[in-house]
Amino acid sequence: MKCLIVQPVHEDGLALLRRSGIEPVACNGTDPASIARDVLGCDAAITRDAGFPREAFEAADRLRAVVVHGTGHNAVDKEAALARGVLVANTPGANAQSVAELTLGLALALARGLHVANQWERDGRAGFRESTQFAELSGKTALVVGWGSIGSRFGQMVASAFGMRVLVHSPRARDTGSFVRVDHLEDGLAEADLVTLHTPLRPETHHMMSAARLAAMKPGALLVNVARAELVDEAALAAALECGQIGGAALDVYSLGAPRGPLAEFPNVIFTPHLGGTTEEALRRVALGAAGHVITALTGGIPDTALTPLAAPASQEASA
C-alpha cells in the first residue's frame, strides 16, 4: 500500500507508516495538477494546508482515505471525497499546546512592542522606550473566541500566569468551567483588553471580526488571530487601526499578500507565517496522529476524527 505525502511531515510519522507496510510517496508539487498526477496508485494521502482538490479525487484510482495533518480541513473537497467514497479525517488537538503558546507570545509581543523594539535596535535608532506606551497583561480581561483544545489551553494559561479575567465566546462549547461564558460576541468585545481567535471557519464565522465588531472592541484592545484568515475582515481591520480604535493586531494567518498590503503600514501589526503548530514537539505529534489515522483507515477501521461518512462512489451506487 502507498500513502501520498502532499507536504513534508515529521520523519517519525513516515517511519510509523513504513512499519505498518505502507510506503510514503512524496508529492512533486502542491498544485492541483501535481496532486492529481501523483495520487495515482496511492491508497491514502496526508495533506497539510495545501488541502486535497476535486481534481485529485477524480483522478485517484485506489484512494481510500485523506488525512489532514492538523485541524483545518476547508481546503479538502469533502463533497468530492463523499462522491468517491473516500474517508476524510483530521488530527485536532495534537498541536494545541504549541498554538496556545504562540498566542501568548504574540499577545506579549503586542503589549510590549517587541517586534518594533527589535527593529529599532537593529537600525541603531534610539528612543523606542519613549516612543509609545506599553501595557501589562496582568489583571486585564481576555476574550477567548472558540473554546476548543487551543482556546481553552490559552485561557487557562493567562488566568494562571497573569491572573487575567477570561471571558469565553464559543456557542458550541458544552462547558467553560469556571470561566464566564459570553453569549453575544459584542458584549465580550466591549470588555476585553485582549481578544484571541481560535474558532473554525464556518459560514457564520466568516468575517466575524467585521467593521461593526471591531468598532465594538474596547478602545486600545489587542487582537490575536491564530485560527483562520477569513475570520477577520482585513480592510475593516486596517480602518480600525488607522483611527486608533484598537491598539494592535497579531496575525498568524492572513490573506495572500497582506504583509505587503495596507496592514503592513502599521507598526502595531505583527505577521507570522502560520507558526502555530510548527514546534518540533507538535510536528511529531501531528505526524504520528495522521499516520495512525491512515493505518486505521487502510486496515478497515474508522478514525475517531472522521469528517465524512463512508459512502460508495456514485458509479458503484448507480450500478447497484
The CATH number of the domain holding residue 9 is 3.40.50.720
Instruction: Encode pLDDT of 141-196 as tens digits.
Output: 999 999 999 999 999 999 999 999 999 999 999 999 999 999 999 999 999 999 99
Instruction: Encode pLDDT of 195-213 as tens digits.
Output: 999 999 999 999 999 999 9
pLDDT at 310: 57
C-alpha 266/C-alpha 217 separation (Å) is 18
pLDDT at 308: 86
pLDDT at 74: 86
Q: Above 90 in pLDDT, residue 103?
A: yes
Q: What is the 3-class SS of 13-56, one letter each residue?
A: HHHHHHHCCCEEEECCCCCHHHHHHHCCCCCEEEECCCCECHHH
Range(s) of the domain holding residue 264: 96-271
The domain tally of the chain equals: 2
Whether residue 206 sits in one domain with residue 315: no
Which of 271, 289, 304 is the last residue before a domain boundary?
271
Confidence tier at 55 by pLDDT (50, 70, 90): very high
Whether residue 90 sits in one domain with residue 52: yes
Name the percent of the chain lying above pLDDT 70.
97
pLDDT at 169: 98
Whether residue 174 sits in one domain with residue 113: yes
Question: Alpha helix (H) ranges present in the chain?
Answer: 11-19, 32-38, 54-59, 78-84, 96-112, 114-123, 149-162, 185-191, 211-216, 234-242, 280-298, 314-319
pTM of the model: 0.88
Whether residue 108 sits in one domain with residue 88: no
